[in-house]
Structure 1
Amino acid sequence: MSGFASWIGGALGWTLGGPIGAAIGFAIGTAVDKATSKGLLLEPPKRGSRQRRKRTDPVYEKRRRRISTTQKKAQTKSGDFEVSLLVLSAIVMKADGEVTTSEKNYVRDYFVKMYGKERANHAFQLFNGILKKEDLSTRQICQQIQLYMDHSSRLQLLHYLFGVTKADGHVSEEEVELIETIAGYLYINDRDYQSIKAMFYNPVDSAYKILEIDKSVTNDEVKKAYRKMAKKYHPDKVQHLGEEHVKGANEKFRQVQKAYEQLQKERRF
């Protein structure tokens, strides 16, 4: 459990509070209970211990929360993005009432690819605990993420969630509708939502949707749209999350390039 505890310590920042903190706390408790049942942890101190619980002043706590919500949005760190992925993945996977092995494997494989096997194992241990929590509030969790996470990181979250829905080869309407709801809660506009969705579902005129333009635009407008989207989805936008996420963001960037090349070929310019 020491490795797990160390990983948790390094992973949590602004996620310690709010609904995400509650979900993570539940998951940690589940992991601790499991370890205790196997004799991996010592018994907790008895009630006669000299340790005292700190009293919480409700007035102070209310004021602290009010101040925190008005503070400038902090730049998201890798660990905060990581646990946000886990919580939102759990919500989406449970949308259709069934969590498949393929979906769970997608999460594990993604974390192995991004963070390495050891860190992925710790993340998946936490993820299993989150899946067991029944009362996850999608709206409250997304509000916390939107409050602290920059726009580029939220777009990366959305891209990942679409990958989760396709992991088992079956995409339910409930899952897609939930992701659209999540996008709204995260303040991601419809054009950005449709752009990322088109990277996975290849609708008619998907190249136009990815570049967020209509078929009626001129060639010059296609070029302008490409430059705009290439800038929006450039991997450097999530560089603050760590090198592992820069690699993950390359997929969105490649899709934009592919869409532009397709239109170049179709329009012959």
Structure 2
Amino acid sequence: MSGADTSFEKIAFTAAATPEAEAARIRLADLYGETTLEEAEVIVALGGDGMMLQTLHAVRGRGVPIYGMHRGSVGFLMNTYREDLLRERLNAAIQVKIHPLAMEAVDQQGNRHRAHAFNEVALFRQTYQAGKLKVRIDGRERLEELICDGIIIATPAGSTAYNLSAHGPILPLGTPLLALTPISPFRPRRWRGALVPDKASIEIEVLEPAKRPMSAVADHSEVRNVISVSAALDASSSSAMLFDPDHGLEERILREQFVY
């Protein structure tokens, strides 16, 4: 995490598909000018956390930072929306670099599907029957049988998203851990999840996939009828977010742990 070390002039704007976000994009483009995503030095994303995730994926590996402003329904990853002093805010912002999870899912036909996730990789049951899973960490079996509605592998950046709703732990940024959180676990009933090193490789095998079909999701990418899913942090890939100094992501993650 570091302060911005450049003066941003070429700004590209992206907006969620809502009237509020699109109107904000038009106003800001009129005020500050607009360039293409390919030529931009910085991208301003307007919307909610879903829009931020879409933009992170769109520029992954390009080194172009993203400054989000809240014009959506959920804005944990977004800064407060204001139209004045945008360049000054960009130049004063704190930069946070995050690495995604790399997921590989194998479906019942043997096809392999790959995707990245900045928030989480998750498995969900597709029918009324609970899923039955086997969990391995770095090739070693840790859970022989987990019966549940699903399971989440969350990064620190994603630990306050669906992971938190499933009663998983909040991980401060920079913590070298991933959260492994079950969704409505039935057996073992007392298992509430685990913290694993972020260098670990996590493999989840779907037991009885024909009877208990499962879907795998990496942020917005879904694969149905999977038989196995593996996930590991991709240290070779990253994207960067910009936050106002008084509204940083690390502070919000810390504050979230004291909300009751």
TM-score range, shorter chain: under 0.3
Structure with a larger share of its residues in strand: 2
Computing the radius of gyration from Cα coordinates, the structure with the larger value is 1
